[in-house]
Structure 1
Amino acid sequence: MNEQTQTVTDYHHRTKHHLERYAKGPETLDWDDQPDPFRRFAGCELVPLPKPGAELPVLFSELDTPQAIEPQALTLETLGLLLELSFGLSAWKQYGPDRWALRCNPSSGNLHPTEAYLINTDSALMKPGVYHYVSHDHHLEQRCLFNDDVDNIGILIGLSSVHWREAWKYGERAYRYCQHDIGHALGALRYAAATLGWSVELLAECADDDIAALLGLNRSDDFKPDERESPDVLCRMRIISEAGTSFGIETLSQTLQSATWSGRASSLRAYHMYKWPVIDEVSAAAAKPRTEEPRWQADPQPVVALTCRQTATTLIRQRRSAQHFDGKTTLPLADFYRLLNAALPARKPPFDLWRWPAKIHLFLFVHRVESLVPSVYALPRDPEALERLQAATLADFDWQPVSDILPLYHLYMGDCRPIAKSLSCHQAIASDSAFSLAMVAEFTFGDQPWLYRRLFWECGLIGQVLYLEAEAAGVRGTGIGCYFDDSVHEILGIETDRFQSLYHFTVGTPLEDTRLQILPAYGHLQG
């Protein structure tokens, strides 16, 4: 284990929640000091996008066969729809004088540390350069103008994280949640692209330094010191499969040498009362260099049919995080199987952008699913992991297959609602739902500490699948970042670091809070 890997591993153990104590976080929260969820750059030329809210006829069920969807042309209208469905607003909620926005991409605590950038090389679309997407106003800020000609490789989407936004509420554990949100955002981007008939190529070879340079994140004078952004991922949008010029980081990097930058990040208006240096330490230790990456794809998988007749655009915009469940409604078995089937690696959105075999496996606490006895179950997402999971967990688990269409295994029979609630920081959403689950990672990354981040991204991808599939089933899901790490391991019999729980999720019939007023996503732009 090299020094960087040791730093990452130490961070992971340091930021575990325990039954007797929580990971270090702020002792108090001043809600008037909450960081601005909308980043803006002052001094940039603004590029308006066409009016948000456009609908497409593509059904959500049709995303199971994305190759059959007719690709839309790349225009400002389709680009704007891509950005809206990926990173834009889905609604506003209001309770008394308090008003807050919801977005298509989920975020822990609705804090939204993820920022989205566009690199355009198509002069017919708009001026080639680097742009920052402002979800609140649904427009682009031109951060960089390319002065030299550049090969037209279409558009790239870059994602970064403002760690401070998350740390304001969650302290040292925030770095984990920022990585979850990158996974959520990747999933949101892939689903949005699929509605347009496009695909997404994850440019996993790029170094963090490459991404920082391309997006202008290394321009330290453009950001307040405590509010800088960390580079995460770069994606290329594929409008027509197999078409277009190949991507070369060197060519774009050379173009940047003569480019003109403008704008400075406005303050997020936070006092920065607490400091969390361990986040900077783990971020530096997990920085990714340039690498060679595989072109792995999942084997073709049978798809469990979906009866939902909603359009994809409608369903994406209605995604919400459940706050409470009714604690009594049973989930139909067909919907349960569809949810789990959609979470398996496959050659369809969003996992067709993922370039590595699955490292995240699901342990489920089933409470109310038709025809299934309340029990603990397991869903290995890679067949080759089955024996490793069996060896790492309790010898009392029976590992009996329960389905001909899913790698679902029964482990232990019994009412697990009290256990699920206790493990998820005593939250009733884990026990009042139809089922909850723990995402357990194969926790090995050797001398490649940046793989730590990738494990959380994979969890976030799975979470985005469960969010949308729950909506399609007429129920609702919510991610759970607060859980007692080692207590989860103890219940499952995991005794080493070989496997670690990284994210929890729960699905059930929601109870709506009638005190809240729901307002249109972009009503503030009308008139």
Structure 2
Amino acid sequence: MADYTLSDYHERSKHRPGRYAPGPGWLDWANQPDPFRRYEGTRRIDLPLRADGLKTSYNALRNGNLPPPHALDLDSVGMLFELSLAISAWKSHAGATWALRCNPSSGNLHPTEGYLASGNMPGLAAGVYHYVSCDHTLEQRGVWDAPQDLNGIFIGLTSIAWREAWKYGMRAFRYCQEDCGHALAAVSLAAAALGWRARLLAAPPDTEIAALLGLDRDMGLAEREQPDCLLWIGPGELPALPPAPAQFHGRSNRLSPGHVDWPDIEQVVKVTVKPHVMVLPDEAGYVAAAPVATDVAGDFPAATLIRQRRSAVSFDATTRISAGKFFALLDATLPRAAAPPWSAWPWPAEVHPAIFVHRVDGLEPGLYLLVRNPQALAMLQAALRADWLWQKTGPPGLPLYLLVPYDLRDVARGISCDQDIAADSCFALGMLAHYEIAASAPWRYRALHWECGMLGQVLYLEAEAVGLRGTGIGCFLDDEMHALLGLEDSAWQSLYHFTVGGAVEDPRLSTLPAYPSGSIKSG
């Protein structure tokens, strides 16, 4: 495709009334991708399962009150993965079983893979490791010729687009990036529960990340992984990126015997490759005010709440949330320098939820906008409909604005591909992203989706903390949402939708432990 642009992909991957984005049309079950990547011929290190002993409360975590840092050793690395990328439970029905994880995924397909690069630590030799969630195991892939004193660890996140494209076709690239954002937030929150700060590295190009993780090598017939991002977890100043290991071991498993090519995904991957960038954290993007509420989750252990997170399949259409809890939930999505996961994010907030309020006690049903970066307010007011009210609502420190009071349940349902979950909940929302910034830097398209995924992860946990449940909505009519808001160009685009309410549980499903007792070594 000559002169393929980001706009080509974004427009072609939109859902429209009566014409969804190109997809497979049917599910080829014989080629359903293996959800677990493994590298045969590698040295494997079983990680201990110790998160039950972690006392950090979720309420402390959400307010940035971190415990003293844990020692950097095999136990703590095991807990980091246990609370971010590990399996949280297995579900069973009619003889079929499937895994749920701490980091959610579109269609539970999990395109995101996790890697660890570490220096020597107790119980773990220096090297680059791949994490296998089904076994809670590290596979040693890369070995350095000389010792590396990293004074911390790097966590790498990658995507295998085929896992999503198998079901969702062209739109899969978007879902991969959103899932990366969920995982990014999950790692940041897990690190914080251990008293550590995680920081997304803004500068390294994709080529250096790929080299460090061993993704630039011949994969044979195995599906390619694309480098997404690299996080640093450690004290003090960010270190220089270590060189790629001289030696790599292991051969990747092939996830499917057959594949369908999606040329648009191949092209947008090329278009959005991230170069080396000189970007410093912009404190102007943070909200300085104290949190609206500090007692939403009480002393509920963070580890328990993280592992109980689930995606709702349907809602009861009756459950309500109080205004106080609703305001506190939204407040947790505001970027504060000390509070995870936003403490990991190096850029100003560029995503702002447009919220359909359905069942919030003390709040009129209607359309609201949460402006997560005060510098964006004037731009949003100029871009949206001229007759919106822009009536400040809620506590003084919460930048929430009522646009129009009206029962919009049917509208929310229609925009969300006629899915009842968008109307039967307490509220639903679309994440309005500053798409214009990707015009001159297409890699920012990926970062916008990461930010959306991070918002989704916070909403999932905040919903659990108040006894509700959330779920991401990937199927929505893009331009119908834009028309509702009054957008006349593409400077702002809704990239991800979400909804929160009282979940209806399916009694046919059985829940099994994440890891059978005794199957994981205690270290």
TM-score range, shorter chain: over 0.9
Counterparts of 2:484 and 2:518 in 1: how far apart (Å)?
50
Alignment pair present for 1:49 and 2:43: no
Three-state SS of the structure 2 residue aligned to 1:459 is helix
Counterparts of 1:524 and 1:16 in 2: how far apart (Å)?
45
Deviations 1:254-292 (A, max 9, x none): x62xx22110101113421x2201101100110011111
Alignment pair present for 1:242 and 2:236: yes
Asked whether the 8 Å contact 1:122–1:154 carries over to 2, the reply is no
Q: 1:108 to 1:270 in 2, by over 3 A?
A: farther
What does residue 386 of structure 2 align with? 395
Q: 1:57 to 1:521 in 2, by over 3 A?
A: same
When the two structures are superposed, what TM-score results if normalisation uses the length of structure 1? 0.94
Three-state SS of the structure 1 residue aligned to 2:514 is coil
Structure 1 residues 42-121: aligned runs within 5 Å: 42-51=40-49, 53-121=51-119
Aligned with residue 416 of structure 1, among 402, 408, 419: 408
Three-state SS of the structure 1 residue aligned to 2:146 is coil
Counterparts of 1:33 and 1:68 in 2: how far apart (Å)?
44
Counterparts of 1:524 and 1:136 in 2: how far apart (Å)?
14
Deviations 1:218-255 (A, max 9, x none): 012x3425x110001011112xx427xx5223xx22x6
Three-state SS of the structure 2 residue aligned to 1:188 is helix
Deviations 1:454-508 (A, max 9, x none): 0000000100000000000110000101100000001111110011010000000
Q: CA deviation at 1:147?
A: 1.9
Counterparts of 1:523 and 1:310 in 2: how far apart (Å)?
25
Asked whether the 8 Å contact 1:127–1:145 carries over to 2, the reply is no
Counterparts of 1:60 and 1:67 in 2: how far apart (Å)?
10
Q: CA deviation at 1:387?
A: 1.6
Q: What amino acid sits opposite 1:161 in the alignment?
A: S
Asked whether the 8 Å contact 2:73–2:121 carries over to 1, the reply is no
Counterparts of 1:123 and 1:505 in 2: how far apart (Å)?
40
Counterparts of 1:450 and 1:209 in 2: how far apart (Å)?
13
Three-state SS of the structure 2 residue aligned to 1:451 is helix
Q: What amino acid sits opposite 2:296 in the alignment?
A: T
Alignment pair present for 1:503 and 2:499: no
Q: CA deviation at 1:70?
A: 1.2
When the two structures are superposed, what TM-score results if normalisation uses the length of structure 2? 0.95
Asked whether the 8 Å contact 1:325–1:509 carries over to 2, the reply is yes
Counterparts of 2:310 and 2:406 in 1: how far apart (Å)?
30
Q: What amino acid sits opposite 1:74 in the alignment?
A: L
Asked whether the 8 Å contact 2:73–2:124 carries over to 1, the reply is no
Deviations 1:200-225 (A, max 9, x none): 121110000000000000012x3425
Three-state SS of the structure 1 residue aligned to 2:360 is coil
Aligned residue pair count: 512
What does residue 229 of structure 1 align with? 225
Deviations 1:299-318 (A, max 9, x none): 42321223323100000000
What does residue 326 of structure 1 align with? 316
Q: CA deviation at 1:32?
A: 4.1
Deviations 1:176-221 (A, max 9, x none): 000001100010001100110001121110000000000000012x
Counterparts of 1:93 and 1:520 in 2: how far apart (Å)?
9
Q: CA deviation at 1:52?
A: 5.3
Three-state SS of the structure 2 residue aligned to 1:523 is coil
Instruction: Decide which moves more: 460-469 or 294-303.
Output: 294-303
What does residue 300 of structure 1 align with? 288
What does residue 364 of structure 2 align with? 373
Three-state SS of the structure 2 residue aligned to 1:27 is coil
Q: What amino acid sits opposite 2:320 in the alignment?
A: T
Asked whether the 8 Å contact 2:66–2:192 carries over to 1, the reply is no
**Structure 2: 5+ residue stretches without partners:** none
Q: 1:394 to 1:518 in 2, by over 3 A?
A: same
Counterparts of 1:201 and 1:374 in 2: how far apart (Å)?
38
Counterparts of 1:440 and 1:420 in 2: how far apart (Å)?
15
Counterparts of 1:52 and 1:42 in 2: how far apart (Å)?
27
Q: What amino acid sits opposite 2:118 in the alignment?
A: N
Q: CA deviation at 1:31?
A: 2.9
Counterparts of 2:312 and 2:471 in 1: how far apart (Å)?
5
Q: What amino acid sits opposite 1:263 in the alignment?
A: G
Counterparts of 2:13 and 2:103 in 1: how far apart (Å)?
25
Counterparts of 2:319 and 2:471 in 1: how far apart (Å)?
17
The alignment-based identity, stated in percent, is 49
Counterparts of 1:7 and 1:408 in 2: how far apart (Å)?
35
Counterparts of 2:247 and 2:156 in 1: how far apart (Å)?
19
Asked whether the 8 Å contact 1:162–1:228 carries over to 2, the reply is yes
Q: CA deviation at 1:400?
A: 0.8
Structure 1 residues 179-328: aligned runs within 5 Å: 179-220=177-218, 222-224=219-221, 227-238=223-234, 241-242=235-236, 246-249=238-241, 252-253=242-243, 256=245, 259-272=246-259, 274-297=260-283, 298-303=286-291, 304-308=293-297, 309-328=299-318
Three-state SS of the structure 2 residue aligned to 1:507 is strand
Q: What amino acid sits opposite 2:233 in the alignment?
A: M
Alignment pair present for 1:441 and 2:441: no
Counterparts of 2:31 and 2:325 in 1: how far apart (Å)?
42
Asked whether the 8 Å contact 1:306–1:338 carries over to 2, the reply is no
Asked whether the 8 Å contact 2:66–2:193 carries over to 1, the reply is no
Q: CA deviation at 1:67?
A: 4.8
Counterparts of 1:418 and 1:224 in 2: how far apart (Å)?
47
What does residue 351 of structure 2 align with? 360
Three-state SS of the structure 1 residue aligned to 2:212 is helix
Asked whether the 8 Å contact 1:54–1:81 carries over to 2, the reply is no
Counterparts of 1:375 and 1:49 in 2: how far apart (Å)?
48
Q: What amino acid sits opposite 2:163 in the alignment?
A: R
Q: What amino acid sits opposite 1:515 in the alignment?
A: R
Q: 1:367 to 1:223 in 2, by over 3 A?
A: farther
Instruction: Decide which moves more: 197-206 or 399-408.
Output: 399-408
Instruction: Decide which moves more: 119-128 or 23-32.
Output: 119-128
What does residue 472 of structure 1 align with? 465
Q: What RMSD over aligned residues (CA atoms) do the two structures have, in Å?
A: 1.6
Counterparts of 1:307 and 1:465 in 2: how far apart (Å)?
14
Q: CA deviation at 1:384?
A: 1.7
Counterparts of 1:52 and 1:170 in 2: how far apart (Å)?
36
Counterparts of 1:54 and 1:376 in 2: how far apart (Å)?
41
Counterparts of 1:150 and 1:384 in 2: how far apart (Å)?
42
Instruction: Decide which moves more: 101-110 or 24-33.
Output: 24-33
Asked whether the 8 Å contact 2:62–2:332 carries over to 1, the reply is no
Structure 1 residues 143-154: aligned runs within 5 Å: 143-154=141-152
Counterparts of 2:68 and 2:421 in 1: how far apart (Å)?
40
Q: CA deviation at 1:54?
A: 3.0
Q: What amino acid sits opposite 1:306 in the alignment?
A: D
Counterparts of 1:223 and 1:141 in 2: how far apart (Å)?
19
